[in-house]
Amino acid sequence: MSWQRILGHQRQKRMFANAVGRGRLGHAYLFAGPEGVGKRLFACELAQALLCEQADAERFDACGDCSGCRQVLSGTHPDLIQISVPEGKTELPIELFVGSADKRGREGVCHELSLSPMHGGHRVAIIDDADKMNVASGNSLLKTLEEPGAGAVLILITKDPDQVIQTIRSRCQAVYFGSLEPSEIEKVLLQEGITADDALISRAVQRSEGSVANAIRLVARLQEQSQVNTDALTKVLSHGPFRAEELARVGDAILEQCKSDPGSQREAAKGIMETCLCWLHQALTQSEAPLVQQDAWADAMEQCFEAILQIDRRASVTTVLDAFYHDLEINLRPAWK
Ligand SMILES: [Zn+2]
């Protein structure tokens, strides 16, 4: 059940299931692959499967419910050690491996892995940012790699295996993780509650290069952009009498942001129309449409719906928008003009 969180990477999962099934689990692995494809999550799931007290050996699956599983999930399992580059640092300092100067050899990953497992058959260390190990840190880890304690399993993680110290790299079994499929990234975004906006998800996934981390960053950037666009449109709409050429100027700038992607252009055009619709609705309910007949206001709203429909029917974005700006101008022209 625990592996359900892992999307893709079936080959790697089978490899570990076979290795464990045949009693041939190695003691050191280097997980390599692009950022944001699930290497760390995979390492955690692997640790859980190894530390679960009621693991289903046949399916190599953790139960998710025993005290071992619960401790792994809460990050308190005494047989699971995790390190990464500390906040504000650029390297994995030697202290993380062999302890601080006054506790040298009595703390750190190397010491932890020399101890016998507290609960079961394994002690697992996950070393993130393995390419950020300096020479001293690397040297301190060498002995552990050569003479690991009983049941010790080291998982080093990197997006840049060439930057991992060669003597370390050569003592680990490399496991490569490739990019994720668009459908897998889509699932993660939904599953993790990043956004439920289909259009946004599709735009982010298209440009994510198979990485969830990239997709999440893109969603944030697109959301931010969309807010900036909405604010710019609302500002133009709310400023004095309606002027179609001003709206068109902001609209053109918004379309320009996604000119290479027809799907995104459609969404952007609909965004412009929806913002106009919101503004019209708000102005009408707050009686801020003094210079224009109520009928004309309602017509303008109808016109927004119609334009959105045309975009959905795949009419040309520029043609629909040109007509949209023009018709809005006619409907919203002050009566005295
Ligand atoms: Zn369990």
Q: Show the tokens assigned to 81.
A: 């050690």
Distance 53 CA to ligand 1 centre (A): 5
In a domain, 24, yes or no: yes
Are residues 275 and 224 both part of a single domain? yes
Are residues 130 and 15 both part of a single domain? yes
* Integer CA distances (angstroms), 146 to 27, 112, 124, 206, in order: 10, 15, 16, 44
Distance 60 CA to ligand 1 centre (A): 11
Are residues 326 and 259 both part of a single domain? yes
Q: How many CA atoms lie within 13 A of 218 on its CB side?
A: 21
Are residues 170 and 230 both part of a single domain? no
Distance 79 CA to ligand 1 centre (A): 14
Are residues 255 and 119 both part of a single domain? no
For 55-88, what is each residue's pLDDT tens digit? 877 778 899 899 999 999 999 999 999 999 999 9
Distance 316 CA to ligand 1 centre (A): 56
**Domain end call among 154, 178, 202:** 178
Rg of the chain on CA atoms, in Å: 29
Distance 208 CA to ligand 1 centre (A): 34
For 279-334, what is each residue's pLDDT tens digit? 888 877 776 655 567 778 888 999 999 999 999 898 999 999 999 999 998 888 76
Q: How many CA atoms lie within 13 A of 204 on its CB side?
A: 31
Are residues 174 and 79 both part of a single domain? yes
Distance 186 CA to ligand 1 centre (A): 29
Distance 7 CA to ligand 1 centre (A): 20
Residue 316 makes CB contacts below 8 A (sequence gap 6+) with none
* Residue range 16-34: mean pLDDT, rounded: 93
In a domain, 36, yes or no: yes
By CB atoms closer than 10 A (0-12, 13-18, 19+), residue 104 is middle
pLDDT, position 48: 93
d(CA 255, CA 107): 57
In a domain, 224, yes or no: yes
Q: Helices 198-206 and 212-238, interaxial angle, to 10°?
A: 130
Distance 236 CA to ligand 1 centre (A): 58
Which residue did the predictor score with more confidence, 172 or 241? 172
Are residues 88 and 216 both part of a single domain? no
For 32-50, what is each residue's pLDDT tens digit? 999 989 999 999 999 999 9
Are residues 197 and 303 both part of a single domain? yes
Distance 56 CA to ligand 1 centre (A): 9
Q: Are 151 and 115 in contact (CB under 8 A)?
A: no
Distance 6 CA to ligand 1 centre (A): 17
In a domain, 337, yes or no: no
User: What number of residues does the chain have?
Assistant: 337
Distance 67 CA to ligand 1 centre (A): 7
Q: Give the range of the structural domain holding residue 14, as residue numbers without chain letter.
A: 2-178
Distance 71 CA to ligand 1 centre (A): 9
**Domain end call among 152, 178, 204:** 178
- CATH number of the domain bearing residue 117: 3.40.50.300
- Give the model's confidence band at 252: pLDDT under 50 very low, under 70 low, under 90 confident, else very high: very high
- The DSSP annotation for 237-297 comes to HHSSS--HHHHHHHHHHHHHTTTT-HHHHHHHHHHHHHHHHHHHHHHHHTT--TTS-HHHH
Q: Please state the domain count of the chain.
A: 2
Q: What is the pTM of this model?
A: 0.74
Distance 273 CA to ligand 1 centre (A): 52
**Domain end call among 127, 147, 178:** 178
